[in-house]
Amino acid sequence: MSARGIIHIDLDAFYASVEQLRHPELRNRPVIVGGADAGDGKAHLARGVVSAASYEVREYGVRSAMPLRTALRLCPHAVVVPVDFAAYRAASSSVFAIAREYTPLIEPLSLDEAYLDVTGSVLRFGLAAHIAAEMRDRILAECGLHASFGVASCKTVAKVASELRKPRGFVVVEPGDEAAFLAPLPLRALPGLGPATEEGLRSGFGITTLGQLAGLQLEALQRRVGQVHGRSVWERARGIDSSPVVLPGRPRSISREETFFSDVDWRPALHERLGTLSADVGARLRKGGWTARTVTIKVRYADFTTISRQVSLPDPTAADSDIRDAGLGLFEAAWSGAKIRLLGVGVSSLEEAAQLDLFTRPNAERLDRTMDALRARFGSAAIRRGAGRDLRDLDWRGDDLRSPS
């Protein structure tokens, strides 16, 4: 049987590249994407973190997740633009529309990263490396964006390859060369091998490369890092990975978080924000055709102490009021009264929603769906429970980056 053709595509400095594409005056300048729009098209810096950094600003040591104020101390002349997920979703959609012309087997990891299985496409489009090269050129010509590509016979090696020569990297690992390609690379290059495992391997066996890891006795490795994890890293260090490219399905969770411009300890305002966050989560559930059994809240205080609480509901729900009421109960039981920096609401244990007609749905969900329709027609600010304002400084997490379609 012929080897699989797996491509890993990773758009380079994606958010920053989209902003440079939208605003030509930012090209070749150090650009930081982060913070919310303060209302005048500029980023609010007091609470923000770096969501993305152009390669021009990375030369100064600026990295994602760094506080904006720290980033600006490192590069005072950097241009900071607020996050605009609508623009990034649109750019991502245009890129992956090109990818879908070559294969339907696409596993998105985020807006800017995905695995493609092109094994079944080679008769029509040529070898996997040719497909990747053609996509690279089309993405630049049609979308104006650069991407790094890794091409291999499995997901692990393809991802390592795409990371090797960023930006605008293009690395092909031929079938049979996987172990030799990985051998000289540092342990941390292996996806899923974190700092704790790396330190355990270094202190326990004195090894620093994937070739040395591949040469260990499996049983000794498993005694050190566990049976399942030990076998996983040992096999993948040898370039052995049969995991398939998985089409996206129901997410594990949906969540919304808001970082406030200034710390809040006024109970009515916090209750309002919980309601608005819950409504956003509920709308995502209904749009996806899901219900949820577990509600979670997240509270980060002004001193950065963070707590989370969750509760399981007696019945799965997609109703805003059910999520809000559960969240409020958790909040009141957990809140210390101190000022809050960030508030979040999430749901998990998702299920496919029952197919009920308009008249057999619970009243609360019927009302929610009516409001969903009004917002879809007249805009997100058209109607909200309790006349709450729209979310202004919204942090998006994990499954929330999936396409809403």
Q: Which residue has the higher pLDDT, 378 or 269?
A: 269
Helix (H, G, I), strand (E, B) or coil at 261: strand
Say if residue 307's pLDDT is above 60: yes
What distance in Å separates the CA atoms of residue 328 and residue 23, rounded to the nearest whole number? 42
Beta carbons of 48 and 32 less than 8 angstroms apart = no
Say if residue 18's pLDDT is above 80: yes
CA dihedral (274, 276, 278, 281) positive or negative: negative
Residue pLDDT, tens place only, 117-134: 999 999 999 999 999 999
Residue pLDDT, tens place only, 132-153: 999 999 999 999 999 999 999 9
pLDDT band (50, 70, 90) for residue 368:
low
Give the per-residue pLDDT at 258.
Answer: 87
Could you say which of 19, 56, 113, 258 is catalytic?
Answer: 113
Helix (H, G, I), strand (E, B) or coil at 236: helix
Say if residue 397's pLDDT is above 50: no
Q: Is 314 exposed, middle or buried (0-12, 13-18, 19+ CB in 10 A)?
A: exposed
User: What does the pLDDT average to over 107-113?
Assistant: 93
Q: Which fold has domain 253-400?
A: Dna Ligase; domain 1 (3.30.1490)
148-151: list long-range contacts, CB under 8 Å, 24+ apart.
148/9, 148/10, 148/12, 149/7, 149/8, 149/9, 149/10, 150/7, 150/8, 150/10, 151/5, 151/6, 151/7, 151/8
Say if residue 23's pLDDT is above 60: yes
113 is catalytic: yes
Say if residue 400's pLDDT is above 70: no
Residue pLDDT, tens place only, 227-284: 999 999 999 999 999 999 988 887 889 999 988 878 999 999 999 999 999 999 999 9
Give the per-residue pLDDT at 251.
Answer: 83
pLDDT band (50, 70, 90) for residue 352:
confident
Q: What is the side-by-side order of every strand in the sheet holding 79-81?
A: 50-53, 31-34, 79-81
Architecture of domain 1-175: 2-Layer Sandwich (3.30)
Say if residue 394's pLDDT is above 50: no
Residue pLDDT, tens place only, 330-345: 999 999 999 999 999 9
Largest CA distance in the chain: 67
Q: Which of 69-73, 372-376, 397-401 has the largest mean confidence?
A: 69-73
Domain ranges within the chain, ordered by starting residue:
1-175, 179-237, 253-400
DSSP 8-state class, residue 396: P
Say what percent of the chain tops pLDDT 70. Answer: 84
Give the per-residue pLDDT at 354.
Answer: 67
The matching CATH number, chosen from 3.40.190.10, 1.10.287.130, 1.10.150.20, 3.40.50.720, for 179-237 is 1.10.150.20
pLDDT band (50, 70, 90) for residue 399:
very low
What distance in Å separates the CA atoms of residue 34 and residue 41, rounded to the nearest whole number? 12
Residue pLDDT, tens place only, 163-212: 999 999 999 999 999 999 999 999 999 998 988 899 999 999 999 999 99
pLDDT band (50, 70, 90) for residue 384:
low
The pTM assigned to this predicted structure is: 0.74
What distance in Å separates the CA atoms of residue 278 and residue 302, rounded to the nearest whole number? 22
Residue pLDDT, tens place only, 1-14: 578 999 999 999 99
